[in-house]
C-alpha cells in the first residue's frame, strides 16, 4: 500500500512512519523538518518531501491521486501557539486540513484524520462546580466518541480555537460521510508521550508540552512551573501503545474503522500535572541524578503569566476506549512510571550527546 503521511516527521508522525516502513508499506512523508525521521531518509520505501502544505507549489492533488491511503497529522498542537496565534491555528487546523479532506473525497481516497481529545472541552464538574453532589466522580470526566457532549470555553478564552477548529473539521467529515462521499476515520489522541515528543524549550520558541518543560528543568536544575497549581488531570499514553492502535486503524480489517471516531488513550494512567512533576523528580533522582547537580524547585504560576491572556484549560479527561477494544482488539500496555522512565532516558541520552558534540 502507498501511504501519504502528511505531517509524518512530527512526534506521532515519525513513530508512525517508522512502523509503516517496518510493515513493508511504501510511504510518502510530507513535513517541514526531517529531524525526527532522519535515520529513515535513505530507506528505499520512503520518499520524504520537505514542504509546507500552505505553499502554492504544494502538489496536493497529485500526491493524493497517487496514494492508496492518506493520513493527516498536520496541525498546530501546542497551547502556547493557540493563545499567541489563534488565526493561524484556525487556518492550518481547519482551512488547510479541509482542502485535504475535500481532495480525498474528489479522488475517492480513504482518509485517516487526526483530531484531538481537546474537542471534548471541559467537564460538567468544571462548568457547574456548585451544582453537583460529587464533582470528583470519575464518571463526569469519561468521554466517549459517539455520545459525549463538548463543553468549550467562551470566545474570550481564545485558547479554545484549536478545539473548535478540530471539532468543526470532524463535523464536516461526518457530513461528507452522510452523503457517502468520503471514507474516513477520525483519531482523538489522549496525551501521547514518548521519545521525540518535543524539542526541549531551549531549541524552540519556549512553548513545548508539559513533559519537555519538566525535562528541561530536571536537566538544568531550573524551576518546574505548575500552571494554576498543576491541578488539571490527564491520562498519558505511551507512543508505542498509540502506534499499535493506529496501525490497526491503517489495516482496517473488515472495514470496521470506516466512518468511525476512535479515542486512543490509557484511562488507568490518570495523574494531575502536579503529581506528574513530583513523579518525574523522584524518577530522576532514583535513576538519572548525578551527585552535585542542581535539582529543580517547583513553583506555582498563573496561566496568564505562563501563556498570556485568553488561556483556559480543560480540567480532566478520561478516555472511554471500549470502541478500540471491541473493534480493534486493542488495549494499552504501558503504565505511567515505565513510559516516563523510557522517555526521560531518551532525552537525557540525546542531551548528553549534544553536550559531547
211 touches 198 (CB < 8 A)? yes
Burial (CB count <10 Å: 0-12, 13-18, 19+), residue 93: buried
Instruction: Name every residue whose Cβ is closer than 8 Å to that of residue 19 and which is 6 or more positions away in sequence.
Output: 243, 246, 247
CA terminus-to-terminus distance, the chain: 40
In angstroms, what CA-CA distances link 69 with 7, 78, 310?
A: 14, 27, 38
User: What are the residue ranges of helices labelled H in the chain?
Assistant: 11-22, 60-66, 79-84, 86-90, 97-107, 124-127, 161-178, 210-220, 239-251, 273-287, 303-307, 322-328, 336-356
Specify whether 162 is catalytic.
yes
| Residue 51 vs residues 31, 151, 200: alpha-carbon distances, Å | 6, 35, 23
Marked catalytic residue, from 82, 162, 199, 284: 162
CB 2 within 8 A of CB 26: yes
What backbone torsions phi and psi does residue 221 show, to the nearest 5 degrees? 75, 25
Catalytic residue list? 162
Amino acid at each position: 500500500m502507498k501511504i501519504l503521511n502528511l505531517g509524518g516527521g512530527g512526534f506521532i508522525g515519525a513513530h508512525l512512519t517508522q512502523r509503516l516502513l517496518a510493515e513493508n508499506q511504501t510511504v510518502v512523508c510530507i513535513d517541514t523538518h526531517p529531524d525526527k525521521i532522519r535515520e529513515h531518509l535513505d530507506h528505499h520505501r520512503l520518499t520524504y518531501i520537505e514542504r509546507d502544505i500552505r505553499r502554492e507549489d504544494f502538489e496536493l492533488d497529485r500526491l493524493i491521486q497517487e496514494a492508496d491511503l492518506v493520513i493527516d497529522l498536520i496541525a498546530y498542537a501546542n497551547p502556547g501557539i493557540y493563545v499567541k496565534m489563534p488565526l493561524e491555528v484556525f487556518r492550518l487546523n481547519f482551512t488547510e486540513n479541509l482542502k485535504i479532506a475535500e481532495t480525498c473525497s474528489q479522488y475517492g481516497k480513504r482518509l485517516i484524520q487526526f483530531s484531538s481529545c481537546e474537542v471534548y472541552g471541559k467537564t460538567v464538574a468544571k462548568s457547574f462546580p456548585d451544582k453537583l453532589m460529587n464533582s470528583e466522580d470519575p464518571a463526569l470526566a469519561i468521554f466517549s466518541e459517539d455520545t459525549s457532549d463538548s463543553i468549550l470555553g467562551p470566545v474570550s478564552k481564545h485558547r479554545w480555537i484549536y478545539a473548535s477548529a478540530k471539532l468543526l473539521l470532524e463535523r464536516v467529515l461526518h457530513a461528507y460521510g452522510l452523503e457517502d462521499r468520503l471514507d474516513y476515520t477520525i483519531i482523538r489522541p489522549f496525551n501521547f508521550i514518548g521519545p521525540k515528543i518535543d524539542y526541549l524549550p531551549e531549541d524552540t520558541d519556549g512553548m513545548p508540552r508539559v513533559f519537555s518543560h519538566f525535562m528541561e528543568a530536571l536537566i538544568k536544575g531550573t524551576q518546574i512551573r505548575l500552571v494554576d497549581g498543576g491541578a488539571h488531570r490527564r491520562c498519558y499514553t505511551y507512543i508505542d501503545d498509540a502506534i499499535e492502535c493506529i496501525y490497526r486503524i491503517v489495516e482496517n480489517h473488515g472495514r470496521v474503522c470506516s466512518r468511525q471516531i476512535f479515542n486512543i488513550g490509557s484511562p488507568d494512567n490518570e495523574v494531575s500535572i502536579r503529581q506528574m512533576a513530583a513523579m518525574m523528580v523522584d524518577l530522576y533522582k532514583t535513576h538519572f541524578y548525578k551527585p552535585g547537580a542542581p535539582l529543580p524547585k517547583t513553583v506555582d504560576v498563573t496561566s496568564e503569566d505562563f501563556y498570556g491572556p485568553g488561556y483556559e484549560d480543560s480540567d480532566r479527561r478520561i478516555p472511554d476506549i471500549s470502541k478500540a477494544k471491541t473493534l480493534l482488539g486493542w488495549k494499552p500496555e504501558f503504565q505511567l512510571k515505565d513510559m516516563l522512565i523510557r522517555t526521560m532516558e531518551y532525552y537525557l541520552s540525546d542531551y548528553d550527546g549534544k553536550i559531547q558534540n
